A = this chain, B = another copy of it.
């Protein structure tokens, strides 16, 4: 049996759709973290609408959906003002953090901490704050629903 490791804290320079949020604030809830870029077609066409469906389908006191804008290319076109316009036009309602950059590093900090390969990346964190799944690319609703249902049942049994 593999020991599960704690999920690294994310590091956001600013937040949209709500106050700054730390992973520790969400202990007791299952967390679906979605790393995206606003100009990534797989994010805009598939993964972000899926996040919105998850955000609406599950009780928020049990499951938290968190977006993270992990910009690693087209930096000039995907700044905070552009992201704000994007979130407004698409009516996304879940909290979105802007992954922080170290000076001179094109890869943002949380993306490095999780060793993400690109966008979209979906990360599942259980109610005890442990990293349970990290998936690069598109995932279908059936598989994502099953993974979420499994972690929610575990949290219920533990609680």
**Are B157 and A149 in touch, CB under 8 angstroms?**
no
**B-chain residues with CB within 8 Å of residue A77 when the two chains form the complex:** 79, 81-82, 84-86
A17 at the interface (CB under 8 A from B): no
**Are B89 and A41 in touch, CB under 8 angstroms?**
yes
A98 at the interface (CB under 8 A from B): no
Partner of A142, one of B41, B45, B144, B151: B144
**Are B143 and A140 in touch, CB under 8 angstroms?**
no
| Count, chain A residues at interface, CB 8 A | 37
A9 at the interface (CB under 8 A from B): no
Contact residues of A: prevailing secondary structure:
helix
* Most B CB within 10 A of own CB, among A45, A76, A78, A85: A85
With A146-B145, A146-B149 already in contact, the answer to whether A40 and B89 are too (CB < 8 A) is yes
C-alpha gap A148/B150 in the complex (Å): 8
Beta-carbon nearest neighbor of A80 in chain B: B77
Ranked nearest first, the 6 interchain pairs of A and B with the lowest CB-CB distance are A145-B145, A149-B149, A146-B149, A77-B82, A141-B141, A153-B153
